[in-house]
Structure 1
Amino acid sequence: MAFGKGCHLHLIDGSAFIFRAYHALPPLTRKSDGLPVGAVAGFCNMLLRYIENNTGADAATHVAVIFDFSSKSFRNDLYGEYKAHRPPPPEDLAPQFPLTREATRAFGISCHEIEGFEADDIIATAACKARDAGGRVTIVSSDKDLMQLVGDGVEMLDPMKNKRIDREGVFEKFGVYPERVVDVQALMGDAVDNVPGAPGIGAKTAAQLIQEYGDLDTLLARAPEIKQAKRRQTLIDFADQVRLSRDLVTLHCDMPLDFDLDSLEVRDPDPATILDFLGRMEFRSLSKKVAQRLGVDAPAVPEDAGQMRREAPAAPEATDLPPIDRAAYETVRTREQLDQWIARIHEAGRVAVDTETTSLNEMVAELAGISLATAPNVACYIPVGHKSSPTADLFGGDALAEGQLPLQEVLDALKPVLEADDILKIGQNIKYDWKVLARHGIEIRPHDDTMLLSYALHGGLHNHGMDELSERYLGHLPIPIKELIGTGKSQVTFDRVTIEKATPYAAEDADVTLRLWLALRPRLHQVQVTTVYETLERPLVPVLAHMEMAGVKVDRDTLSRMSGAFAQKMAQLEAEVQEMAGRPFNLGSPKQLGELLFDELKLPGGVKGKTGAYGTDVNVLEDLSTVHPLPGKVLDWRQVSKLKSTYTDALQTAINPDTGRVHTSYSIAGANTGRLASTDPNLQNIPVRTEEGRRIREAFVAEQGKILVSLDYSQIELRLLAHMADLPEMKAAFRDGQDIHAITASEMFGVPLDQMTSELRRRAKAINFGIIYGISGFGLARNLRIPKDQAQQFIDAYFVKFPGIKAYMDAVVKGAKEAGHVQTLFGRKIHTPEINAKGPGAAFARRAAINAPIQGTAADIIRRAMIRMEPAIEGLPAKMLLQVHDELLFEVEKGAEEDLIQRARAVMVNAPDPAVKLSVPLEVEAGTGQTWAQAH
């Protein structure tokens, strides 16, 4: 058909698609030859999704994908520094550029690029020609530079947000309409493209100036009239630079095209062509999907070809799902509606659940509402606690808004569903919702958690928050919470948001959670981490929830006394440091400290950072403490200061007023290796190596009539190293109950055990533990306060005496480079995307890869112990309160502590069974006391 009135042209920004596809998925390589194809896979899925959604009355009749030919264009002739600061594309992305062009043509879509011009100019010219011919144009891109084209039949579609941008949308972005966008951009410049603009004039000021003076030429001509002196002088001095900037940002609508609009007509892809391309790329699952859509047989691809070398997810099956439709969400205001939703849940056999509350602290949060979803776009929000006013005041601001069911009625109706064994409850970080609802007498079961699904699949590749997962695996960006509650001093709690605004946000959370479950759950089996998820991740949720809700008692008076003592200690150290300095200065100021150390005291090694100040971090001060006593004293002062602010002061405010206890929150997906992270407050980083740090645990106490019990794995990571690296000497030492550090010192330094000195044992201990973390000679030198050469000699001698360790480490690194991940003894995959990196990050990636299987296995073992602990100690008057690295802390009634120790120790010692049989015994040390310090 000839292009004209009634035609609709889609112009797709191909470069944006490529980079979005590249960053949305972890690195993938073609199995047969190692060719990077991750961006191509994502790009193909985006094209397929586009074709499937291009239906209905508003569908495109013509379409083209437009690419940049290169990073150079005619603008570089105008201004040599144009885009000069842009880094080159990643090494593994560059070879994928031509493949995306081939993919576009294989899908039956025209694609174009023209040397010397940017994709934006091609899009601009094609859009103008289509508009002049009487057709409509939709530019599929979120690029702000293209907004100058909007209007008169041209609009934009932001594919990330699925949001159309018209003239009003441009005004919302720039503060001016499309015809003046270039003027605003010329003034504000663009740091990304290195467009200079007018120094000091930002987007808001630029829009105000153009609104006031009408256009850029008028503004520059009347610049001497501007009242603000600095702004006036800037526009006078930099007028030519602003005009140059306008030339750089103005898109060309009259460039010569090597295609006509008629050639862009939409056509069905040729099955043979597209399946041949997908087969060559070895996209097995995508080939099946496309073949099914086209009604033909998929080509034969080797069974393992689709298993990419990085074992990261191909684009999820969520591409089959309809786009998010917030207008379809329902606000449940009547009992009849609620009963209909309960019936829907029973019929579906699953429901995504999310709670909206007034606080991130589950122990004090009040319910504002509950959202549910049973299928994509089948979601609702049940408001129960929204207030009638957006602010709390004396005139009814705390009264409930109309049109809400009573909270208890909703909870009573949902309780049977949320506790039903035959209905799966799906959440994102469901532990939060579990605790909120548990405070109202509801224990969610059974459950799945999309955050933990992603963690089991993608640990080490990216974070696992809902917004990031939604953007990566659904191509959808949810409504930001700050749009509803604001930020800073004007921020309100969620119960102050109107129900009309709350519904699309809250229901979308449940909808997105369900879609993520549909996308990620099938991947567990494909990536072979089902056992990890089912035995280490999912069952830990209620265990941690029970621990967190139990909390631990902290004595406020003890903390207060410690704070006072620490304040006195800080004052004493401050006086000593200032006496050494010969003058007063602010110890808390890195700038003043750096000037004292390097300018006045002339200590060696001063290095200034970008701000011009000397570096004075802990490593710098530790190195300097060997040549001058002042840096060591500063370190002591910093340590006491941190103990006071982070623990003795902060813990007092963390005591729950209702329970009198501190309730930390554990993040299951907080560390790549499987270790738990503790927050609000962080109880895992309480120092134990110094006397002051150990004293913090004196404030953690047992309730009246009870006692605290600590059980701690002894040297578990060294034992795992002995097993995993198959080290006969170490394994024998552990089996015989010998002092492993003394044995190591004897082997390394040739000293009989009966002549062992504490200094030699200390050095062997530092090396033993350092080796686990891949320590360098420099790091060991700092730990032992010895020259780097000597430290490196120790490490070299260690590897000579224990060659199995070096062989093990080399094998781990080699395997990580080949597979893109390392693995614990229990199957947890810890991805190592930086393992093949060059430069400073390479050494860190190598150390992380070496340590991860050991630390991750230790984390898996204590997880297994925690999951088995509750049934093992059932019937005892005891509760598990804390997990700190390799230690579990319990509170038990006096008289039952020995029974608890016996049962708990058996669980911990046998935790690896039956999945893993260790060749070294695990030992667990136990202690009791009225305080944590005594028990530990």
Structure 2
Amino acid sequence: MRYPGGVVRTFYLIDGHAQLFRAYYAPFRPLSSPSGEPVKAVYVFTQMLLNILAKERPDYLAIAFDVSDETTERKAFYPAYKEQREAAPDDLHTQFDRAVQVIEAMGIPIYTVDGFEADDVIATIAKRLDGSGVELRIASKDKDLHQILTPTVKLWDPKDGTLIDPNTLWELRGYRPEQSVEIQTLVGDPTDNVPGVVGVGVKTAAKLIERYGSADAVLEHADEQTPKLRERLLEARDVLPITRQLVTLRDDLDFPFDLGACATPLVTREAVQDLFAELGFRSFADQLPSERGVARSAEPGTLGFGVADAPPPESDVSYHLVDTPESLEVLVAQLSDQRVIALDTETTSLRVVDADLVGLAFAWRAGEAWYVPVRSHVARTLDPATTIEALRGVLEDDGVTKVGQNLKYDLSVLEGAGVTVRGPLFDTMIAASLLNPERRGVGMDDLARDLLGVTTTPISDLIGKGKQQRSMLDVPMEQLLPYAAEDADVTWRLYERLDHELDAAGGRLRTLFDSVEVPLVRVLAAMERAGITLDVERLAAYREQLTERIDALRAQVLDVAGGGFNVDSPKQLSQVLFERLKLPVVRKTKTGYSTDAEVLETLASETGHPLPALVLEYRELTKLLGTYVDPLPSFVSKRTG
């Protein structure tokens, strides 16, 4: 089914609880704030918000939250609603409060309505926006929201940017938004303990609704179905009206809503820096502009990130493919005339020893770059050995400065390809770190966004993620050329800015960069290529010893604590130490009593109770196991062993 389109402004409306749960279970390492409280979910959630601001640049932005399941009208109407759901993890509750603090500090409106769920709030906002010329993009994957989709109301996945509109819903699920409630009425929802017709799934329900039009009509035609389906339809006759009411979203809630109040806020460093420092999110604060350097814009959707050097318009960018001997000869001649060049390599692996060179990119002026492919499964390339030989004179020229982003990697890759890069070096990643030591994000994407106002193409756009990830060798040249050339182009533009800032910072910093940091790049590159020998069998034996000791420590901790609890949960440990065992409180935080290493060491020395020392050893060994012993074997090179 096809629907007309055509909207101008965008409103990103986030299903707060759904995204926070998703952040909590995201495949990301555990994180703790400087005070020891868990903050992984808050970190991932905050990262999503900043990505929306920086990449999506919405005109309007807001967040809808659920209220307690026990207080909703659905629960009052049907007491069994969601009764089988397990309680949220303890450390998620505190992270919810922290997430709200982040949202409020960023100035993003929050909508909740007593007695109703976030989906009802979202449905009501969607209805109020009808005809406004605003496209509503709902950050949620909830199937309950399928019923409100229109050409200007879409579901949006923050993970990959996927949009689901009525057309996409038809293609993916085989039904239309106006059929969604009828289908859900037949299917029910086991997740929320909503009853349905036993054995009827979405595909069967969609076929029935397409034929008969409604769940009631399907019941009227029960005799036309197979004996088993007829029996199950009749068994569910009495519960389907209940199900229909449970799955139908309310779009008529009474709460104040002003579109203008949802205009995307200008989020400044000063507004969030205290909270972010408390949470340990300093790199996030670095991404934001200072109030001193940004004029607040009256236009919704204008973020005013305070970029000093605007990038060239996209139409002014010129990226060249060098895939013939003739064009390579021209490039080498042009390179030979330069005293400073930016270079970047594309490869088959992040592990330098196992990486094959796929291509090289060069730039020496902003907005223009050249890409030289030497390996591909899907496109024409030059011969690797011949190309390296043609470029050797430039790459090994002591009089040509080579600029790169994380040059250590490129030097190692080229060394593996048979060429030793000589001449002065300039690493933009190191320069950015020296100029702003508190900055955590020094990757190209971070620097391009923060210093140049450029949103670079993520590598996942080319090769995908996870099990579906493909090799650079399989990327079509029409995608690889702009990506690789952009890397060299952005590196050059970063060099122009950072080189000037290093000079302006004074002689000592410049000397540190030129005399210590840059020479160290070659040393580290050589060390990484040489690697170290790892005795995998001995490490496996040590792993068994560690695991046995960790299991024994866990048992001792539970025995000394006088009962079971999750040893890995700071909150539960806090309850055991200070409520069950009545040990003295050393330090309080906003969310409770601290149980960080310093507190445990103090308790061990001052109280003599065995539990703090046991937990300290348990934490040390589990960190050793998880950080080193388990991961190390996976780093053994396939080529060298």
What TM-score do you get using the length of structure 2 for normalisation?
0.56
> Is the 2:109–2:261 contact (alpha carbons within 8 Å) kept by the matching residues of 1?
yes
In structure 2, distance between residues paired with 1:689 and 1:265: 56
User: Counterpart of 1:817 in structure 2: which amino acid?
Assistant: A
- Judged with a 3 Å threshold, the aligned counterparts in structure 2 of structure 1 residues 364 and 255 are, in CA distance, closer, same or farther, namely closer
8 Å contact kept, 1:352–1:427: no
State the alpha-carbon separation in 1 of the partners of residues 212 and 490 from structure 2. Answer: 44
Q: Deviations over 1:527-578 (max 9, x none)?
A: xxx9999899984443342x4xxxxxxxxxxxxxxxxxxxxxxxxxxxxxxx
Where does residue 292 of structure 1 map in the other structure?
293
Q: 1:192 to 1:9 in 2, by over 3 A?
A: same
What CA distance in whole angstroms lies between the structure 2 residues aligned with 1:818 and 1:844?
15
Structure 1 gaps, min length 5: 297-315, 389-400, 523-529, 548-665, 667-675, 694-768, 783-813, 822-836, 860-882, 885-889, 891-936
Letter in 2 for 1:178: P
Structure 1 partner of 2:619 = 845
Deviation for aligned residue 1:118: 2.2
Task: Report the counterpart of residue 74 of structure 1 in structure 2.
Answer: 73
Q: Which of residues 394, 402, 417 is equivalent to 1:440? A: 417
Q: Does 1:135 align with 2:138?
A: no
Query: For the residues of structure 2 that align with 1:27 and 1:99, how far apart are their CA atoms?
Result: 17
Query: How many Å separate the matches in 1 of 2:183 and 2:123?
Result: 19
Instruction: Note the C-alpha offset of 1:96.
Output: 1.7
User: Is the 2:414–2:420 Cα contact (8 Å) retained in structure 1?
Assistant: yes
Number of residue pairs matched by the alignment = 529
Encode CA deviations 1:241-289: one digit per residue, 9 max, x unaligned.
777666544432222223344x536387699xx9577567768857862
Residue 114 of structure 2 is aligned to residue 102 of structure 1:
no
* Superposed displacement of residue 153, structure 1: 2.7
When residues 543 and 321 of structure 1 are mapped into structure 2, their CA distance, relative to the original with a 3 A threshold, is: farther
- In structure 2, the partner of 1:925 is none
What residue is the counterpart of 1:126 in the other structure?
125
Deviation at 1:115, TM superposition (A): 1.5
Tell me by how many angstroms 1:13 deviates: 0.9
Cα offsets for 1:169-189 (capped at 9, x unmatched): 434553444334455666776
Give the residue type in structure 2 aligned to 1:258.
Answer: P
Partner of 1:167: 166
* Structure having the higher Rg: 1
Residue 388 of structure 2 corresponds to residue 411 of structure 1: yes
Q: Secondary structure at the match of 1:138?
A: strand
Deviations 1:431-465 (A, max 9, x none): 6x7666445323457696989x99xx9xxx9xx99
**Aligned pairs (5 A) from 1:229-240:** none
Matches within 5 A, 1:139-538: 139-145=137-143, 146-162=145-161, 164-171=163-170, 173-182=172-181, 205=203, 209=207, 213=211, 217=215, 247-261=245-259, 264=261, 266=263, 275=270, 289-294=290-295, 330=319, 332-334=321-323, 336=327, 351=342, 353-357=344-348, 369-370=359-360, 382-387=372-377, 401=379, 404-408=381-385, 410-415=387-392, 422-426=401-405, 437-443=414-420, 478-479=459-460, 495=473, 498-500=476-478
Distance across 2 between alignment mates of 1:684 and 1:87: 39
Alignment-derived partner of residue 93 in structure 1: 95
Offset from partner CA, 1:828-872 (integer Å, 9 cap, x none): xxxxxxxxx99x99863243469999x99xx9xxxxxxxxxxxxx
The AA in structure 2 aligned to 1:66 is I
What is the alpha-carbon distance in structure 2 between the residues aligned to residue 222 and residue 342 of structure 1? 80
Give the Cα separation in 2 of the matches to 1:219 and 1:533.
74
Post-superposition CA distance 1:671-708 (Å, at most 9, x none): xxxxx7x7xxxx52224999xx9xxxxxxxxxxxxxxx
Structure 2 unpaired stretches of 5+: 1-5, 298-304, 449-454, 502-512, 557-593, 602-610
Partner residue, 2:587: none
How far, CA to CA, are the matches of 2:352 and 2:167 in structure 1?
A: 41
Question: Partners of 2:190 and 2:492 in 1: how far apart?
Answer: 39
Partner of 1:542: 526
Deviations 1:144-186 (A, max 9, x none): 4444433243344444434554433434553444334455666
Matching residue's letter, 1:291:
R
Give the 3-state SS of the residue equivalent to 1:93 in structure 2: helix
Instruction: Letter of the 1:141 partner, please give it.
Output: A
SS in 1 for 2:290: helix
* Residue 605 (structure 2) aligns with: none
In structure 1, C-alpha distance between the alignment counterparts of 2:445 and 2:136, rounded to whole Å: 27
Listed one character per residue, the Cα deviations across residues 718-768 of structure 1 (whole Å, up to 9, x for unaligned) are xxxxxxxxxxxxxxxxxxxxxxxxxxxxxxxxxxxxxxxxxxxxxxxxxxx
> CA distance change for structure 1 residues 416 and 475 in 2, over 3 Å: closer, same or farther?
closer
Amino acid at match of 2:252: D
Alignment CA distance shift 1:29-1:154 (3 Å) = same
Partners of 1:216 and 1:373 in 2: how far apart?
62
Letter in 1 for 2:535: Q
Q: Conserved in 2, the CA contact under 8 Å of 1:9 and 1:130?
A: no
Deviation at 1:325, TM superposition (A): 9.1
Residue correspondence of structure 1 range 514-913 to structure 2 within 5 A = 539-545=523-529, 547=530, 684-687=535-538, 775=549, 778=552, 817-818=597-598, 844-848=618-622
Q: Once the 2 structures are TM-superposed, how far is the Cα of residue 10 of structure 1 from its aligned partner?
A: 1.5
Q: Percent identity?
A: 25
Structure 1 residue 28 corresponds to structure 2 residue 33: yes
3-state DSSP class of the match of 1:442?
Answer: coil
CA contact (8 A) 1:85 1:193 kept: no
Is the CA contact 2:31–2:38 (under 8 Å) kept in the aligned structure 1?
no
- The Cα offsets for residues 470-491 of structure 1, whole Å up to 9 and x where unpaired, read as 9xxx99975367769986xxx9
C-alpha distance after superposition, 1:767-790 (max 9, x if no partner): xx98x99957947999xxxxxxxx
* Cα gap change, 1:412 to 1:44, in 2 (>3 Å): same
Give the letter for the 1:355 counterpart.
E
TM-aligned CA distance change 1:243 to 1:91, over 3 Å: same
- Partner SS for 1:423: strand
CA distance in 1 between counterparts of 2:385 and 2:626 reads: 47
1:125 Cα offset (Å): 0.9
Q: Decide whether the 8 Å contact of 1:220 with 1:236 is kept in 2.
A: yes
Q: Distance in 1 between matches of 2:327 and 2:427?
A: 28
What secondary structure does 2:536 align onto? Answer: coil
Q: In the alignment, residue 477 of structure 2 is paired with which amino acid? A: I
Does the C-alpha gap of structure 1 residues 41 and 483 become closer, same or farther in structure 2, counting only changes over 3 Å?
Answer: closer
Matched with 1:613 is none
Evaluate the alpha carbon distance shift between residue 267 and residue 153 of structure 1 in structure 2; reply closer, same or farther with a 3 A threshold: closer
Alpha-carbon displacement from aligned partner over 1:370-428 (angstroms, at most 9, x marks no partner): 5678999987764444456xxxxxxxxxxxx55x4454554345545655672233359
Question: Paired residue for 2:508?
Answer: none
SS of corresponding position for 2:11: strand
Given the superposition, is the C-alpha separation of residues 777 and 129 from structure 1 closer, same or farther in structure 2, using an over 3 Å criterion? closer
**Matched residue SS, 1:10:** strand
Give the drift of 1:225. Answer: 5.6
Structure number with greater CO (CA < 8 Å, separation at least 6) is 2
Output the CA distance in 1 between the equivalents of 2:396 and 2:205.
56
Q: Distance in 2 between matches of 1:338 and 1:101?
A: 55
